[in-house]
Amino acid sequence: MRQLNRVIRDYFGFSATELRGFWVLMSLAIILLTIPALTRSVYRTSAHSPISSVESSKLDSLIALLNTDEPNSTRIQSQYDTKIHYANFNPNHASRDLLLHNGMPSWLADRLINYRDKGGVFRKKEDLLKIYGFSTELYTQLEDYIELSKQKVKTPDPTAVVQSASYKAKSEKQPRYPEKTALEIVNINQADSSQLKKIPGIGSVLSARIIRFRNKLGGLHSSTQLEEVYQISDWAVQNLQKYTYIPPENKVVQLSVNSDDIKTLASHPYISYELARAIVDHREDYGNFSTVDDCREVYLMQDSIFQKIIPYLGL
């Protein structure tokens, strides 16, 4: 063993400590290599262990039950067979119960109804795939039962005729989707939440964001500013620009660069705290601004920022 240690030390240039570490690693490697072989041996032994007489009798009974042609076994199997008896439905009017009956998850049915409540309309069958979470597998199952055109639909299972009729009668009692009426075009700087929610694509959350953004600005001077509302979609912006307006005599609330403090200036969405402090520092060092255009000389005042805030600046 000493001779082997001497050969290894001379060959690898190991110190005494490194040599001990080498043997520890080699021992661990040998143990790790033998574990799989020992495990396979144990499993092989257990796999060939004889089956007890009790287990053998249970196995024979199970095989006999599976092979029997008696009606009882058929009834037992039928208890575990689940089949959805689909009913024809129109996604623009179908009740929540009918959607659930056709195998739609409750959260997806609620999402579809919420989409309708916000003004969404399904004009063709493929529009259902626009609903977030509506999988292509579910669409394939329901495609033949969607009633949006005069296409021939699959005849329902005869065992579900009575049940389908009851669901159809129940859905007819539900109020039909109201016909669209011409929307009133409103002043975006005066419209309240109820008026904004009438516009397609604008719900309670988005209308509150629009009003909050408008109030922080001191009013909108251009419809393009709607694109800056937090998490607003292009479709919602287009509808807002279509059904709202800004009057020519519109006036926005202006800040006073000669008297407002840092906190007041920084409360405006277009003015950062650093820029507000730079405006106040410039005013204290050089005196009041003679014109709003003099604000260009303020440190940190970039031309792109100045062009955005100039409608909101006053003396």
The model's pLDDT over 275-296, given as tens digits with 9 standing for 90+, comes to 999 999 999 999 999 999 999 9
> Is the pLDDT reported for residue 133 higher than 70?
yes
CA distance 166 to 295: 73
* Band of pLDDT at residue 186, cut at 50, 70 and 90: very high
139, 131 contact by CB (below 8 A): no
> Looking at residue 118, what is its pLDDT?
86
* Band of pLDDT at residue 19, cut at 50, 70 and 90: confident
Cβ-based neighbours of 246, under 8 Å, separated by 6 or more? 187, 188, 189, 220, 221, 222, 223
Is the CA virtual torsion 21, 27, 33, 36 positive or negative? negative
Q: What are residue 2's phi and psi, to 5 degrees?
A: -65, -40
Residue 30's alpha-carbon distances to 23, 25, 33, 34, 36, in angstroms, are 11, 9, 5, 6, 11
> Looking at residue 81, what is its pLDDT?
46
Residue with the bigger pLDDT between 52 and 139: it is: 139
pTM: 0.43
Counting residues of the chain whose pLDDT is more than 70, the rounded percentage is 76
> Looking at residue 165, what is its pLDDT?
53
Residue with the bigger pLDDT between 86 and 65: it is: 86
**Range from 116-125, 140-149, 168-177, 184-193 that averages highest in pLDDT:** 184-193
pLDDT mean over 184-205: 92
